[in-house]
Amino acid sequence: MQRPTYGQSPPLHHPVPQHVSTVPQLRSPPPPVSQPQSGYGGSPYQQQQAPQGAGNMFGQYGNFMNDPAAQIASQFGQTAFRQGQEYLEHNVNRFVNVSALKHYFNVTNSYVLNKLFLVLFPWRHKPWSRKQAVGPSGQEGWYLPPRDDINSPDMYIPVMSVVTYIFLRTLIAGLRGEFRPELFGSIAGTVFVVVGLEILGLKLGCYLLSISNTSQLLDLVAYSGYKFVGVIATISIAEIVNGGNGTGGLVGWSVFFYTFLANSLFLMRSLRYVLLPDISADNRGPMQTMETGTRARRNQRTNFLFAYSYLLPPIVLATIQSSIIAAFSNVLAQYITSRSSQEPFVLDWVPIVQFWAYSIISTPPNFRWQELLEASFPSYHIEPTKEAIASAAKNDEKELDQEATEGRLVEPKLNKVNTAIKAFLDQTVGAAFNTLLFSMFIHGVQSGMAHRVAEGFGDPSKGLAFLLSGRAVRYENINWAVVWMRARAEFWGLLKASWAFWPFVSLVNFAMLKTVAARNLMGSLAGLGWGVYMSMVTA
């Protein structure tokens, strides 16, 4: 039977389910338009899931975070983490300011390289002042981070230097077959104890001298760690040169003295802005003192700075410097004498020790004499700068605050009258005392060593044996009446000879150098030529 024919019916399409059905379809769906290569052999469930699951590689687990239970767990974890962080900051900030500590680790590669070079070679670096950023009001400033200021202290280099030092010590022990795991703990413990005692001593000195600022502790911790840069350099170079046989020898001691002096100069220049805050800045900025301080208090702070930088009081350091220079001047005089007489140069230790001993005796009273002159007749006084006077005349408070922040409010001015008075007293009273002291000491020692003539002068070893014999100076042989007569006889001649040289040195010292320690060093260097002359006179 033939069915009747109707109009053309529309094409049939299978409905696309909106969710995964648990009952499998009996017919394969038509291939999706976006994936014509799939064919009919694929899974019908994946074909139908494609419109909603496109881009989700985890299937039905991809919407895990949209689950209400997962969101509650996530919020609970964030709340617990936030509370733990607040608890940690609240308790740790009582001892260490975490936000301020981040400032010290804000470094770059170029800063680290330049800072290491500065620590090892600080001799010609200028300026040493810290850079400050001025706030919108122009009244409050803060120091720039290390990445923007080479003079800013950082924690990165000290921390890495300490770690490197610990590993270097254990590496050397391992190369010698002496490695033990306990070395890490013992070396680290020693380092922390030394640094801790150092910082404790610094804080005690700052407390006694009323030095206080907002970032003092962290600055001191940072500066106390820079010494390990020199220690690492000394150990590395000495061990390489000595073939792993220790840090002794000429090279080891030479590198040690160089790094010691370099680190001392670096600390003295850098810590000046921590231990000697600028009182001319009207107590603005992050570094503020409890009091403006008097001249005596500032001198005490200066001595404290020298004591920490060189681990020696200024007077002891000046004595060591002068004694070394005096001994070298006598060596130079012996060399000049041998060349002028066309004789072979033979080092005589006896006059070297005589000049060295005289310098040790004469330097402390001369150092105190210079301190007395400076305290009685200061070479410099503080005056307002021209910019400050102009700003005050215009009643420009904002400009005055800016000048105070930048340290341009006042400046030191040379007091010519006081400088002339000090030079006159130094070249009359001081010169007369030094001339008599030198003549009395040299003639007295030479009289006590007169028995040395029979032992000869041609062998340096004999000179050393004579000095170490315990009876090099026979005090019973010294006739002080004869010594005094000789000192009086040559007094005016030596004093007039000194007036041809020392007044110029004295004026330069008082006019250009501001500290007694610097003046003593300059005088010792200038005295090198004078010591040669005196060595040849007393030979």
DSSP codes, 251-284: HHHHHHHHHHHHHHHHHHHHTHHHHS--GGGTT-
Q: 272 or 507: whose pLDDT is higher?
A: 507
**Cα 338–342–345 angle (5° rounding)?**
35
Residue 110 has what pLDDT?
Answer: 92
Band (161; pLDDT cuts 50, 70, 90): very high
Q: Cα 514 to the chain's mean position, in Å?
A: 22
Q: Which tens digits make up the pLDDT trace of 275-316? A: 665 544 434 333 333 344 456 666 666 666 666 665 556 677
Band (47; pLDDT cuts 50, 70, 90): very low
Residue 232 has what pLDDT?
Answer: 92
| pLDDT at residue 139 is higher than 50 | yes
Band (163; pLDDT cuts 50, 70, 90): very high
Residue 12 has what pLDDT?
Answer: 55
Residue 135 has what pLDDT?
Answer: 62
Distance CA 333, CA 385 (A): 49
Mean pLDDT, the chain, as a whole number? 75
Six-digit token string for 249: 């020898």
Q: Which tens digits make up the pLDDT trace of 58-76? A: 455 555 556 677 677 777 7
Comparing C-alpha atoms, which of 362, 352, 350, 346 is closest to residue 327?
352
Six-digit token string for 5: 């024919």
Q: Cα 402 to the chain's mean position, in Å?
A: 29
Phi, psi (5° rounding) for residue 27? -120, 145
Max mean pLDDT among 51-55, 332-336, 414-418, 532-536 falls in 414-418
Comparing C-alpha atoms, which of 326, 303, 325 is closest to residue 316?
303
Six-digit token string for 101: 């500590």
Residue 328 has what pLDDT?
Answer: 84
Q: 177 or 90: whose pLDDT is higher?
A: 177
Band (166; pLDDT cuts 50, 70, 90): very high
Band (209; pLDDT cuts 50, 70, 90): low
Max mean pLDDT among 39-48, 70-79, 217-226, 399-408 falls in 217-226
Max mean pLDDT among 39-43, 216-220, 391-395, 501-505 falls in 501-505
Residue 428 has what pLDDT?
Answer: 92
Residue 116 has what pLDDT?
Answer: 93
Six-digit token string for 114: 């330049």
Residue 181 has what pLDDT?
Answer: 84
**Residue 173 neighbours by CB distance under 10 Å:** 14
Q: Are 287 and 273 in contact (CB under 8 A)?
A: yes
Band (424; pLDDT cuts 50, 70, 90): very high
Distance CA 319, CA 305 (A): 17
| pLDDT at residue 521 is higher than 90 | no
Q: 300 or 7: whose pLDDT is higher?
A: 300
